[in-house]
Chain A
């Protein structure tokens, strides 16, 4: 599709975009980026647990959004629960009525948690492990499935699913068994989706270590500091990938390689 538009006019189209974990960090940066790249008549569905933070984000986008005829809708939902996932799908169904003629559905599965950073042998609590995988794996699958059903394949409407991944989906890291395991599971899950659905373009994107609360948590738990990227840099690269739209569906791409 990129060859139909000269570079400076390239956009994400009239887009229905859902971003999870949108209230801060990378999700927040993506919400801002996407809002600048969509055409009038687009919908931005922002999902996170914190209603207050989402409203702040919506407020930040407000004047820009009204100029651009961008409808911003917040869904305060805990995606670690079935109710949260169902509420998000229901909200998308309702908002779809406002956006019947979108030509692009974009889902960004960004919400995630770090989990306990601890030695492998400490993970003896089945409920703890199951609960972690539920939020970081099951809910991404259930949400993606639900949303793809809300927006089935239709001519003239492309569907894009992004999995916010990590180098640790591919590479093990000591004491990070929960995070690595979940990212590896998600990576495979989205590769299967790509194989099954030629009408959905799937991208696993690893943004690199960013200035986020998750990184602060890492620093607190491990005492290790990395050189961190400001969120807008990996967000910009992801936008470029989505605008170029020539990645192979199911690919895993890393900020540092692109």
Chain B
């Protein structure tokens, strides 16, 4: 099942953490690359930001076969959050005769980067972090793949927004690194099991986002903090738009090895 080259087809695209930052940029880019009759499902906790994005993106063109944009207010760390995102996707795609399902697992949190691994004595804190950053990505992906099973004429693409931290350990970043490493492995297993699904772990690079600001101001390790501050001070942070554009290039070319980890600097 190869890509048609210039676009992603008539698609159902689900993007988590779509209200801001990288997720928002991805949602915008996807909206421009899908054919009329497509559906874009935006998932985040902040419904106001989602609605603003929806207003920007929905294009009810002549004939009513533009882009349908749905907002789903959901906390993916809760069981009902995943359910709501899936239900909205099923309903929106019901009449759409989609030929491509694209899931972008982007929602994530940094975790407390002001502390060392040996300070994490409270299981509940680690559980809560893993629940949102690992478990919910697994369950959402599994539910959506069940809702949109393999069938002729349907391409399925699953993106895991990853990080260099999935591959390299960084002091005081134990939760984030462990969560990203877990996710990369999780999606490698998916790629092994389901060769018809195109699975990509995309590391977007250091982005100019709220998460980056949080990292810059709270990282405890002095070397790490210096490195992150330098990126900012030297104007080397990437815009979400430029990183998302690279992701789109990968998706359109569709040549990546399923399950692989691709860093923006490799593209």
In the complex, per-residue mask of A192-217: 1 if CB is within 8 Å of any chain B CB, else 0: 11111100000000000000000000
Q: How far is the CB of A20 from chain B (nearest CB, A)?
A: 14
Instruction: Tell whether, in the assembled complex, residue B143 and residue A124 are in contact, meaning their CB atoms are under 8 Å apart.
Output: yes
A173-B192 contact given A142-B121, A180-B186, CB 8 Å threshold: yes
In the complex, per-residue mask of A157-201: 1 if CB is within 8 Å of any chain B CB, else 0: 000000000000100111111001111111111011111110000
In the complex, per-residue mask of B116-135: 1 if CB is within 8 Å of any chain A CB, else 0: 11111111101100110011
In the complex, per-residue mask of B98-125: 1 if CB is within 8 Å of any chain A CB, else 0: 0000000000000000001111111110
A35 interfacial contact with B, CB 8 Å: no
- Secondary structure type dominating chain A contacts: helix
Report how far A181 CA is from B78 CA in the complex, Å.
Answer: 20
Binding stretch for chain A, among B12-20, B177-185, B202-210:
B177-185
Instruction: Tell whether, in the assembled complex, residue B117 and residue A129 are in contact, meaning their CB atoms are under 8 Å apart.
Output: no
Instruction: Tell whether, in the assembled complex, residue B173 and residue A146 are in contact, meaning their CB atoms are under 8 Å apart.
Output: no
Instruction: Tell whether, in the assembled complex, residue B171 and residue A192 are in contact, meaning their CB atoms are under 8 Å apart.
Output: yes
B130: contacting residue among A122, A146, A174, A185, CB under 8 A: A185
Instruction: Tell whether, in the assembled complex, residue A145 and residue B121 are in contact, meaning their CB atoms are under 8 Å apart.
Output: yes
Q: How many residues belonging to A are interface residues under a CB distance threshold of 8 Å?
A: 52
Residues of B within 8 A of A127 (CB): 79
Instruction: Tell whether, in the assembled complex, residue A195 and residue B169 are in contact, meaning their CB atoms are under 8 Å apart.
Output: yes
B194 interfacial contact with A, CB 8 Å: yes
Instruction: Tell whether, in the assembled complex, residue A188 and residue B138 are in contact, meaning their CB atoms are under 8 Å apart.
Output: no
Instruction: Tell whether, in the assembled complex, residue B181 and residue A185 are in contact, meaning their CB atoms are under 8 Å apart.
Output: yes
Instruction: Tell whether, in the assembled complex, residue A141 and residue B142 are in contact, meaning their CB atoms are under 8 Å apart.
Output: no
A174-B138 contact given A181-B185, A184-B185, CB 8 Å threshold: no
B118: contacting residue among A119, A120, A145, A175, CB under 8 A: A145
Instruction: Tell whether, in the assembled complex, residue B121 and residue A149 are in contact, meaning their CB atoms are under 8 Å apart.
Output: yes
Residues of A within 8 A of B179 (CB): 185
Binding stretch for chain B, among A132-140, A220-228, A239-247:
A132-140
Q: How far is the CB of A50 from chain B (nearest CB, A)?
A: 21
A250-B142 contact given A82-B123, A82-B124, A129-B135, CB 8 Å threshold: no
B211 interfacial contact with A, CB 8 Å: no
Residues of A within 8 A of B143 (CB): 124
A144 interfacial contact with B, CB 8 Å: yes
Report how far A176 CA is from B188 CA in the complex, Å.
Answer: 11
Instruction: Tell whether, in the assembled complex, residue A181 and residue B120 are in contact, meaning their CB atoms are under 8 Å apart.
Output: no
Instruction: Tell whether, in the assembled complex, residue B117 and residue A123 are in contact, meaning their CB atoms are under 8 Å apart.
Output: no
Instruction: Tell whether, in the assembled complex, residue A181 and residue B173 are in contact, meaning their CB atoms are under 8 Å apart.
Output: no
Residues of A within 8 A of B192 (CB): 172-174
Instruction: Tell whether, in the assembled complex, residue B142 and residue A122 are in contact, meaning their CB atoms are under 8 Å apart.
Output: yes
Instruction: Tell whether, in the assembled complex, residue A185 and residue B171 are in contact, meaning their CB atoms are under 8 Å apart.
Output: no
Report how far A145 CA is from B115 CA in the complex, Å.
Answer: 11
Q: How far is the CB of B214 from chain A (nearest CB, A)?
A: 18
A89 interfacial contact with B, CB 8 Å: yes
B146 interfacial contact with A, CB 8 Å: yes
Q: How far is the CB of A133 from chain B (nearest CB, A)?
A: 5
Most buried by B among A182, A184, A186: A184
Quick one: closest A residue to B81, CB to CB? A126
A134-B127 contact given A145-B121, A172-B259, A177-B190, CB 8 Å threshold: yes
Instruction: Tell whether, in the assembled complex, residue A85 and residue B123 are in contact, meaning their CB atoms are under 8 Å apart.
Output: yes
Most buried by A among B170, B182, B183, B259: B182
Quick one: closest A residue to B188, CB to CB? A172
Quick one: closest B residue to A188, CB to CB? B181
A129-B139 contact given A145-B120, A185-B179, A189-B117, CB 8 Å threshold: yes
> What would 14 more interface pairs be, CB under 8 Å, given A187-B181, A193-B174?
A82-B124, A119-B193, A122-B142, A126-B135, A134-B127, A138-B123, A141-B174, A142-B126, A180-B185, A189-B174, A189-B177, A192-B178, A196-B221, A197-B118
6 contacts between A and B (CB under 8 A): A123-B139, A126-B139, A144-B117, A146-B121, A174-B193, A181-B189
